[in-house]
């Protein structure tokens, strides 16, 4: 069966449930955004929210997708960079525990962490200290990393490092892998527009974007944005929150409903949608079925805090996917 290699920022998510949005205002964090912060500000936010409920999980967009695929029994690997510290060890062990092949490089810089601040309405705002994660360089990426893999999944948060992305996608294509890209936060898209256009046109086979990211990239509403994406890539996916998602390949468009879910925290919903979708492709299902599997994973993820579901939740997911496929 096909194997999936991911590459992204190796981060440890520190999920914090906010009582109200005053904390966001205090730290000058626009609600719903992903802001990069330095080690000092990251520490200030951490200590300023010490009185609130927190949870730890290995994170980063691509790592979440790879974790989801591993939970669905797909063979996976992950390329990233961590510090030689407690958080770095946590990340490595978490990968191994979930049967993901860790292709992790070490740095003297502290490991990256994402402070995920969850508002009462379940919207999440990220204050991210990239740390060692951002030091992943073109020199770290070797042709042999891609051996034995069929899909290469990258997160849009990496596009700030143009040389890294370019080398990785070129090697992936040379090795015959299908390249999938999950767009990052709308502000990252805006800041790297020209580069993203080049990458999508020349290397990316499958693109995932939510409506804000799609608008940042095309300047258009979801349906028109989907058409624009589909002209650049083989398969285009635009996620529209509670309204579900739209998938297009060539002249065929599919509208996929979301599942009924009690939203607690939207962290990782898009990442897990991508996992479900790629799983469907690997299994040879139709695009509408792939999207529906994505919806199941995304819907179940938002019912828990953070991007990681416990085993009993994964059993629910597998049952729902089997029902969906008529197995």
Domain map (residue ranges) of the chain: 4-9+60-110+134-325
Instruction: For residue 284, give the 3-state DSSP assignment.
Output: coil
The pTM (predicted TM-score) of the whole model is: 0.92
Which of the four pLDDT bands, split at 50, 70 and 90, describes residue 116? very high
pLDDT at 20 over 80: yes
Per-residue pLDDT at 179 exceeds 90: yes
Q: Residue 191: phi, psi to the nearest 5?
A: -75, -15
Q: pLDDT class for 4, splitting at 50, 70, 90? A: very high
What's the pLDDT score for residue 113?
95
The model's confidence at residue 162, banded by pLDDT at 50, 70 and 90, is very high
Mean pLDDT of 200-215: 97
Per-residue pLDDT at 308: 86
Q: Looking at residue 55, what is its pLDDT? A: 87
Q: What percent of the chain has pLDDT over 90?
A: 86
Q: What is the mean pLDDT of residues 263-288?
A: 94
Segment 271-283 shows an average pLDDT of 98
141 pLDDT higher than 90: yes
62-101 pLDDT, tens digit per residue, is 999 999 999 999 999 999 999 999 999 999 999 999 999 9
Average pLDDT (51-63) is 91
Mean pLDDT of the chain: 95
CB 3 within 8 A of CB 77: yes
Q: Is the pLDDT of residue 306 over 80?
A: no
* pLDDT band for position 320 (cuts 50, 70, 90): very high
4-9+60-110+134-325 — its CATH code?
3.40.1190.20
Show Cβ contacts of residue 33 under 8 Å, excluding neighbours closer than 6 positions: 125, 126, 185, 187
pLDDT at residue 325 in the model: 87
Percent of the chain, pLDDT > 70?
100
Concatenate the DSSP letters of all residues of 297-317 into one string.
Answer: HHHHHTTSSSS---HHHHHHH
**Closest of 128, 124, 94 to residue 111, by C-alpha:** 128
> Is the pLDDT score of 327 beyond 80?
no
CA–CA separation, 13 vs 129, rounded Å? Answer: 10
Contacts with 225 (C-beta within 8 Å, 6 or more apart), sequence order: 209, 211, 214, 215, 217, 218, 238
**pLDDT score recorded for residue 281:** 98
Residue that has been written with the tokens 């981060």 in this structure:
11
């Amino acid at each position: 069966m096909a194997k999936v290699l991911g590459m992204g920022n190796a981060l440890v998510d520190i999920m914090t449930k906010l009582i109200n949005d005053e904390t966001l205002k205090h730290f000058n964090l626009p609600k719903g955004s992903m802001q990069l912060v330095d080690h000092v500000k990251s520490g200030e936010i951490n200590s300023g929210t010490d009185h609130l409920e927190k949870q730890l999980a290995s994170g980063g967009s691509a790592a979440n997708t790879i974790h989801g695929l591993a939970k669905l029994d797909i063979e996976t690997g992950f390329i990233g960079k961590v510090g030689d510290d407690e958080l770095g060890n946590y990340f490595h062990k978490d990968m191994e525990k979930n049967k993901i092949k860790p292709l992790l490089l070490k740095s003297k810089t502290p490991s990256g962490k994402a402070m995920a601040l969850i508002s009462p309405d379940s919207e999440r705002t990220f204050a991210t200290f990239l740390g060692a994660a951002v030091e992943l360089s073109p020199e770290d990426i070797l042709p042999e990393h891609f051996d034995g893999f069929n899909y290469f999944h990258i997160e849009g948060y990496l596009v700030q490092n143009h040389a890294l992305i370019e080398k990785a996608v070129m090697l992936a294509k040379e090795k015959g892998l299908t390249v999938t890209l999950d767009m990052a936060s709308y502000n990252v898209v805006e800041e790297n527009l020209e580069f993203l256009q080049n990458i999508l046109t020349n290397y990316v086979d499958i693109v995932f974007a939510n409506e804000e990211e799609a608008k940042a990239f095309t300047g258009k509403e979801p349906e028109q944005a989907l058409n624009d994406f589909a002209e650049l890539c083989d398969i285009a996916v635009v996620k529209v929150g509670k309204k579900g998602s739209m998938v297009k390949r060539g002249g065929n468009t599919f509208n996929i409903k979301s599942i009924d879910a009690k939203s607690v925290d939207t962290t990782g919903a898009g990442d897990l949608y991508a996992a479900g979708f790629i799983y469907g492709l690997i299994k040879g299902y139709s695009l509408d079925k792939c999207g529906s599997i994505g919806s199941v994973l995304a819907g179940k993820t938002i019912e828990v805090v953070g991007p990681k579901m416990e085993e009993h939740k994964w059993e629910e997911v597998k049952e729902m996917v089997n029902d969906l496929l008529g197995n």
